[in-house]
Structure 1
Amino acid sequence: MSVYESVANLVAEYALAYDERDWDALIECFTPDASLTLRVAGGDRVGPFRGHAEIMRLMRGSAAAQDDRRRHVCTNLMVSPTGSGMAAARSYLTLLSVRDRRLTVLSTGTYTDEVALTEGTWRLRTRHLELDLPADDRLPG
């Protein structure tokens, strides 16, 4: 599998794992020393959340506060190898919500990632999310 295909699978795995609340699969998307930051609608940068424990505390807490069904749709993926076992990736996010039989676009945004090949698997080393609109008071997107 090419670097592009592997990173595309990683981006999709992250989105599916979060949406399905598959916490074991989600944490496998990150290197042990990973960091995650986010910014909503040009506001202050939040984070970094460092390492598996902090990232999972954020993800689980955010999911627990959501009373809708979320779908993270990632598109326009661009991947650039940056060195041996490293790559930069950028993609769009469209964040959808289903509640009371209604579909709503909550926000759009971008993911900017640094990915690393660790033990034969591509994983997120850094992830930054820029949301264009506040999806609501519960993070992340």
Structure 2
Amino acid sequence: MAHFDQREFDAMEAYLDPDGTWLRADGAVDGIAGLRELAKAMPADIRVRHVLSNFRMTRRDASHVTVRSYVTVYREQSNCDTSPACFSAPHLVGRYTDELVLTDGAWRITHKSVIRDFVRD
């Protein structure tokens, strides 16, 4: 998510299974092609930061792992002229579930989903 926040989408691709699915609150992102479409559609004046914590990993077998974590998302339109950006509250607080698979010696996310527990009005 750090690469996503910094708009480093090419770097983000190294961590994703080419055919993986990311289930977001606004719809599914399917594979690397879907990530590239999302990157193009992302407004330039939006600043996003993901803060993840409380990681819990479950090994399903030698090449499959499930990672669950809490996420707090800060998302603001950059409408103030100073840095750091102005913000009123977290955009959402929820939980991620990431399914990883070991492929060619590297762990890649094959399925990512979010449960939104709190959302800003």
| Common topology (TM > 0.5) | yes
Percent identity (aligned): 27
Deviations, residues 18-69 of structure 1 (Å, cap 9, x unaligned): 01111111111101121111337xxxxx33x3221023312442xx226232
Give TM-score scaled by structure 2 length. 0.80
Distance 1:108 1:60, change over 3 A: farther
- 1:31 and 2:9 matched: no
Q: Which has the higher strand share?
A: 2
> Contact 1:94 / 1:105 at 8 angstroms: preserved in 2?
yes
Runs of 4+ more than 3 Å apart: 132-136
Alignment of 1:36-115 (within 5 A): 36-39=22-25, 46-47=27-28, 49-61=29-41, 64-65=42-43, 67-97=45-75, 99=78, 100=80, 101-103=85-87, 104-115=89-100
Distance 1:29 1:85 in 2: 15
Q: Which has the higher helix share?
A: 1
How many residues align? The count is 114
Distance 2:40 2:119 in 1: 19
Cα shift at 1:72: 0.6
